[in-house]
Amino acid sequence: MRQLHDRFFRQAKREGKLARSVYKLEEIDRRDHIFHPGDRVLDLGASPGSWLEYILGVIGPKGLACAVDLKELHPRFNGQAHFQQLDIRQMAGDEFSRLTPHFDVIVSDMAPNTSGIHLVDQVRSLELCQSAFALARRILRPGGNLLLKIFSGPDSPRFRRELTQEFRELRLRKPDACRQESSESYLVGLGFTARGLAGAAVPDGGSSKCP
Ligand X SMILES: C[S@@+](CC[C@H](N)C(=O)[O-])C[C@H]1O[C@@H](n2cnc3c(N)ncnc32)[C@H](O)[C@@H]1O
- Catalytic site residues? 149
Rounded Cα distance, 75 and 77, in Å: 5
Q: Which is nearer to ligand X, 16 or 211 (CB)?
A: 16
- Are 126 and 164 spatial neighbours (Cβ–Cβ below 8 Å)? no
Q: How far is the CB of 11 from ligand X (least distance, A)?
A: 14
- Asked if residues 192 and 140 have their Cβ atoms less than 8 Å apart, the reply is yes
Residue 168: strand, helix, or coil: strand
Report the residue number, 44 or 140, with the smaller CB distance to ligand X: 44
| CB-based closest residue to ligand X | 45
Comparing CB distances to ligand X, the nearer of 129 and 194 is: 129
Please state, in angstroms and rounded to a whole number, the distance separating the CA atoms of residues 208 and 27. Answer: 24
Q: How far is the CB of 158 from ligand X (least distance, A)?
A: 21
User: Residue 42's closest CA among 54, 55, 26?
Assistant: 55
Specify the residue, 47 or 100, whose C-beta has the smaller distance to ligand X: 47
Angle subtended at Cα 119 by Cα 114 and Cα 121, rounded to the nearest 5 degrees: 20
Which of 151, 87, 107, 147 is CA-nearest to residue 125?
151
Residue type at 5?
H
Nearest C-alpha neighbor of 124 from the set 90, 149, 105, 158: 149
Output the smallest distance, CB 184 to ligand X, in A: 9
Contacts with ligand X, residue ranges (CB under 6 A): 18-19, 21-22, 45-51, 68-71, 87-89, 109-112, 128
Q: C-beta of 139: minimal distance to ligand X in Å?
A: 16
- Residue 146 has a CB neighbour count (10 Å cut-off) of 28
Tally of residues, the chain: 211
* Least separation in angstroms between CB 115 and ligand X: 13
